[in-house]
Amino acid sequence: MRVGSLIRVLLVALLLAAAATAVAIFIPWLPDQASKEGGRIDFVFWFVTAVCIGIFSVVASLSVYSLIKFRAKPDDDSDGPPVHGHTGIEITWTVIPLVLVLAMIVVSSVALARNDRDPAGSMRVEVLGQQFAWVVAYPPEGAREDMDGFVCFTRGSGQVDAKCKRSPNLLLPLDRPARLHLTARDVIHSFFVPEFRQKQDAVPGLTTEITVTPTKLGNFPFICTELCGLGHALMRTRAIVLTESAFETWRASR
């Protein structure tokens, strides 16, 4: 009886797992992947998804099976078996989740540490958020930053220093890591390019940094994801990935 029940639950669980896997595979979840950092994030995403499909199928199959199989007859007033617990089972369902959680922590930490690095030879780009537009500025090579940590921006103003190349879009060369230095002029904004998977708040009075290494040529949405007031939904522009030579040509242009 018990073994039979367990086998049937297992079958329901496999069925649900197959359904959940289909949902995971056939729905276009993640947008195109256009950065090296995005690749690492996607790996963590699918790793966690696999673990979660497993847990979901166990829980859902047990609830569905119990509700159908152990339903009392309408005139049945009897009680179930007085089972108060089982130390072995309780230890099992404490230890297995613990191990899974630790695995997810390790995978996440490794991906995070790699994405956080500022690789040697990275290109410095400065990004300023203000209501309701982005300002992107490219300092000349080797320029020194001021006390606030910026070459192109003076804190509290939307001005861009004359020695910097200024743009309303984020233009990046292919395959070269870019280190973005972000700040905001008025309220908190947030840098987000879904195809890069990278997101970072731009905070007034702070410098926040993030690395993006584009791996795909193209033109992607670059939006604000921290509520910044009336025009929040309009604070969108483009992130454009060019070949190295096209980028240099653009940069040299006036």
Partner 1 sequence: MRTSTWRRLLLGPGWVRAAWMTALFFGIGFGLVVGIRALAGWDPVIFWEPIIVVAALTAAPIGFLAGLGAFDYWLAWAFGQPTKPEDHSGHGARRWTDYFRINTDHKVIGIQYVTTTIIFFLAGGMLAMLVRAELAQPEADYVDPQTYNELFSVHASLMIFLFVIPAFAGLANYVLPLMIGAPDMAFPRLNALSYWLLPIAGIMMLSSFFFPGFGAGWTNYTPLSVEQPFGNVFFSMAVQWAGASSIMTALNFLVTIITMRAPGMTFWRMPLLVWANFTTSLLVVLATPFIAGSQFFVMFDRVMHTNFFQVAEGGYPLGYQHIFWFYSHPAVYIMILPGFGIISEVISTFSRKPIFGYRLMALSLVAILILGFSVWAHHMFVSGMANWLRVPMMITTLLIAVPTGIKVFSWLATTWEGRIHVTTPMLWAMGFVTMFVIGGLSGIFLGAVPIDIHVSDTYFIVAHIHYVLLGGSLFTIFAGIYYWFPKMTGRMYDERLGKLHFWVTFIAFNITFFPMHIIGVQGAPRRYADLGEEYADWNLVISIASFFLGASFIVFVYNMVVSWARGPRTTANPWGARTLEWQVSSPPPIFNFDDIPQVVGNPYEYGVPGARHAVMNGDRVAEAEQVKAE
Looking at residues 45 to 84 of the shown chain, list those that interact with partner 1 (rule: CB under 8 A): 45, 48-49, 51-52, 55-56, 59-60, 62-63, 66-67, 70-72, 76-84
Q: Which is nearer to partner 1, 124 or 197 (CB)?
A: 197
Contact indicator for 164, 157 with CB cutoff of 8 Å? no
Alpha carbons 94 and 47: distance in angstroms, whole number: 21
Alpha carbons 254 and 246: distance in angstroms, whole number: 14
- Among 41-49, 120-128, 135-143, 173-181, the segment contacting partner 1 (CB under 8 A): 41-49
Rounded to a whole number of angstroms, the minimum distance from the CB of residue 14 to partner 1 is 17
Compute the C-alpha angle 195/200/205, nearest 5°. 150
Contact indicator for 160, 138 with CB cutoff of 8 Å? no
Rounded to a whole number of angstroms, the minimum distance from the CB of residue 138 to partner 1 is 22
Q: Which is nearer to partner 1, 43 or 243 (CB)?
A: 43
Q: Which is nearer to partner 1, 167 or 198 (CB)?
A: 198
- Residues 149-168 binding partner 1 (CB under 8 A) are 156
Q: Does residue 136 sit in helix, strand or coil? A: strand
Q: Does residue 72 sit in helix, strand or coil? A: coil
Q: Which is nearer to partner 1, 145 or 186 (CB)?
A: 186
- Residues 176-215 binding partner 1 (CB under 8 A) are 186-188, 190, 192, 194-195, 197-206, 208
Rounded to a whole number of angstroms, the minimum distance from the CB of residue 219 to partner 1 is 14
Number of residues that bind partner 1 (CB under 8 A): 83
Rounded to a whole number of angstroms, the minimum distance from the CB of residue 163 to partner 1 is 25
Rounded to a whole number of angstroms, the minimum distance from the CB of residue 165 to partner 1 is 25
- Among 103-111, 120-128, 133-141, 160-168, the segment contacting partner 1 (CB under 8 A): 103-111
- Residues 9-38 binding partner 1 (CB under 8 A) are 27-31, 38
Choose which of 122, 225, 237, 238 interacts with partner 1 (CB under 8 A).
225
Residue 116 interacting with partner 1 (CB under 8 A): yes
Alpha carbons 105 and 107: distance in angstroms, whole number: 6
Residue 230 interacting with partner 1 (CB under 8 A): yes
Rounded to a whole number of angstroms, the minimum distance from the CB of residue 179 to partner 1 is 14
Nearest Cα to Cα of residue 13 among 52, 65, 70, 69? 65
Alpha carbons 158 and 160: distance in angstroms, whole number: 7
* Contacts (Cβ under 8 Å, ≥6 apart) of 140: 151, 163, 164
From residue 13, alpha-carbon distances to 30, 224, 227 in Å are 26, 41, 41
Residue 112 interacting with partner 1 (CB under 8 A): yes
Alpha carbons 210 and 116: distance in angstroms, whole number: 7
Alpha carbons 254 and 250: distance in angstroms, whole number: 8
